[in-house]
Amino acid sequence: MTMIKNHNGYKHTFIENKLTLGLAFPLEVHTSMDIGEQVKLAKKAEDLGFSALFVRDSPLHDPKFGDSGNLFDPFVFLSYLAAHTKKIALGTASVVTPLRNPLHLAKLAASLDILSSNRFLFGVATGDRPIEYPAFKVESDDKGRLFRESIEVMKKVWSEDFPTIETEKVNLTEGDVLPKPNQSHIPLLGTGYAKQSMEWLAEHMDGFMFYMQEGFRQKELIRTWREHTVTFKPFIQPIILDLTEDPKKPPFPIPIKASLRTGRNFLIDYLYALQDMGINHTMFFLNTGSRPADEVIQEIGEYVVPLFNK
């Protein structure tokens, strides 16, 4: 755990008993991901003090799913962002590990972490789009086992020289995977249960992401997570946010799961409640909102971020 605490992205984003704020791509409203605009907004977010930028892994576009996810490959996109930013953490939320070879993943993640000056936060998951597993000829019933395999293989090749590994997807008896992360590990953030027990997640993950849900349910889940973790490991909750122009506007229903439409004043109160609940980071998804993302990022950065990202 000591080496994780010294990781630039981790220590910039996660503080015990504190809530920090980040953003999730795409950063434009109803965007086709104009890369120039994305980089411009990413730099603005960094200048305003947001702690992290997250991108989703969407191997395939499923028109029936409701959104196209992220247009670009997450590792390529975050590498591009790394060259245009300096200190903001760069994360995935999250890579569908069972659909990729663990050796490829280990090399991609280590390369990105080194090239970003140790700012990469590696969110991992089993995915949520029904068409993905059949398209890649991977049995969906195997996703839990393949997820465990990917984590165990990556940890081993990051921390050992010339390891011998024999698993379902890997038969490494010669050679090695380079580069190695500077600290022999990269922060792993589990998304949902990924077909695992809480005991396994608490032991093998460095943080836990879970979608927005009723307060009493989230509070109970956080309590369970804390009971199973020996040292501090952050709890992360994303929010699909539609911030209204009127800062006094109370929250009102929006037909999107895990979403919030409200003015700035209630948002601040809500975030303080999340902090009291034990949530350590939230990233805002802005691309379904009703206002230009540039305006929303400016408002949150000016009035909300200073209250939390200190």
Instruction: Tell me the pLDDT tens digit for each residue of 76-132.
Output: 999 999 999 999 999 999 999 999 999 999 999 999 999 999 999 999 999 988 899
Residue 134 has pLDDT above 90, yes or no: yes
Residue 164 has pLDDT above 70, yes or no: yes
CA end-to-end span of the chain: 23
Instruction: Tell me the pLDDT tens digit for each residue of 232-245.
Output: 999 999 999 999 99
Q: Which two tokens stand for residue 13?
A: 């984003």
What is the structure's pLDDT at 65?
73
217 sits in which H/E element: helix 215-228
Q: Which two tokens stand for residue 199?
A: 């005991």
Q: Does the model's pTM come out above 0.75?
A: yes
Does the N-terminal peptide bond of residue 179 adopt cis geometry, omega within 30 degrees of 0?
A: yes
Residue 1 has pLDDT above 60, yes or no: no
Write down the architecture of domain 2-308 according to CATH.
Alpha-Beta Barrel (3.20)
CB 236 within 8 A of CB 189: yes
Residue 143 makes CB contacts below 8 A (sequence gap 6+) with 98, 126, 127, 133, 194, 195
pLDDT category of residue 254 using cuts at 50, 70 and 90: confident
Instruction: Tell me the pLDDT tens digit for each residue of 36-85.
Output: 999 999 999 999 999 999 999 988 888 877 665 678 999 999 999 999 99
Instruction: Tell me the pLDDT tens digit for each residue of 258-288.
Output: 789 999 999 999 999 999 999 999 999 998 8
CB 120 within 8 A of CB 9: yes
What is the structure's pLDDT at 100?
97
Neighbours of 169 (CB within 10 A): 16
Residue 298 has pLDDT above 60, yes or no: yes
Q: Which two tokens stand for residue 165?
A: 């590994």
What is the structure's pLDDT at 4?
84
Q: Which class for 20: exposed (0-12), middle (13-18), buried (19 or more C-beta within 10 A)?
A: buried
Report the mean per-residue pLDDT for the chain.
Answer: 94
Percent of the chain predicted with pLDDT > 90: 85
Percent of the chain predicted with pLDDT > 70: 96
Q: How far is CA 54 from CA 21, 44, 68, 307, in A?
A: 11, 15, 16, 21
* DSSP string for 254-271: -SSTTEEEE-HHHHHHHH
